[in-house]
Amino acid sequence: MEFENVITERHSTRAFLDKSIPREIIEKLLFLSTRGPSAINLQPWEFTVVMGEERQRLSRVLVKSMRERNISCGPGAVRPLPEYFMDRQRKLMDSILPYLEKGTDFQDFINEGSCNFYGAPVAIIFTIDQAFSKSRLVDVGIAVGYMVLAAHNLGLGTCPIGLISAFADEIKEMLNIPEDKDVVIGVAVGYPDPDSPVNQSISARAPLHEVARFY
């Protein structure tokens, strides 16, 4: 299906220009991200915006922990997944690998890249108050969705970084995030590097009949 809209054009960005984002643009992005719906208008999302030298410092902490604790991006499954899920994961790897420098290990690229927010000038950490149940993570996920689309409209690229939730303690300590908040996810934000091969990678989607049923 062909559509002329932002949804079909947006892809995750994994290489950014070394160019800072003006504060007004970041505020606009946060404003747009918080226009989404939330259950009984609770708006449970909270953001910590990390930029400049602090962003670099955060990445140093994350990379160190990732290596020490041997943490890796994974599906976050609590049981073995049916084969079709594994197939989608393999297809993501197949869509990125051809664009990486020869000899680069895919998992290393993703793990190190994620901890470095792929070089983006801004990392936005999404947190939620621990008083909420897991149901409210849906609302935070909606804000992530709004953010990646709004960023695209503003000429910015994004990559959601779920991996960082494994380093919640380190992140909370470094950014003085209160004890009673949970780190949900991060989003790397910056201007996409148009010359970087990896940004040409396009991930496939399962055909509708695999994910939708009509009654």
Ligand X SMILES: Cc1cc2nc3c(=O)[nH]c(=O)nc-3n(C[C@H](O)[C@H](O)[C@H](O)COP(=O)(O)O)c2cc1C
User: Which residues here bind ligand X, judged by CB under 6 A?
Assistant: 11-12, 73, 92, 110, 113-114, 159-163, 185, 203
To ligand X, the closest distance from the beta carbon of 126 in angstroms equals: 10
- Three-state SS at 118: helix
Query: In terms of CB distance, is 40 or 78 closer to ligand X?
Result: 78
The H or E element that residue 9 is part of is helix 6-9
DSSP 95-123: HHGGGSPTT--HHHHHHHHHHTGGG-SEE
To ligand X, the closest distance from the beta carbon of 31 in angstroms equals: 21
Query: In terms of CB distance, is 51 or 144 closer to ligand X?
Result: 144
Query: In terms of CB distance, is 150 or 159 closer to ligand X?
Result: 159
To ligand X, the closest distance from the beta carbon of 99 in angstroms equals: 12
Residues paired with 49 in a beta bridge: 124
Q: What are phi and psi of 44, to 5 degrees?
A: -75, -5
Taking only Cα atoms into account, the Rg of the chain, rounded to an integer number of angstroms, comes to: 17
To ligand X, the closest distance from the beta carbon of 23 in angstroms equals: 26
Q: Which residue is nearest to ligand X (CB)?
A: 162
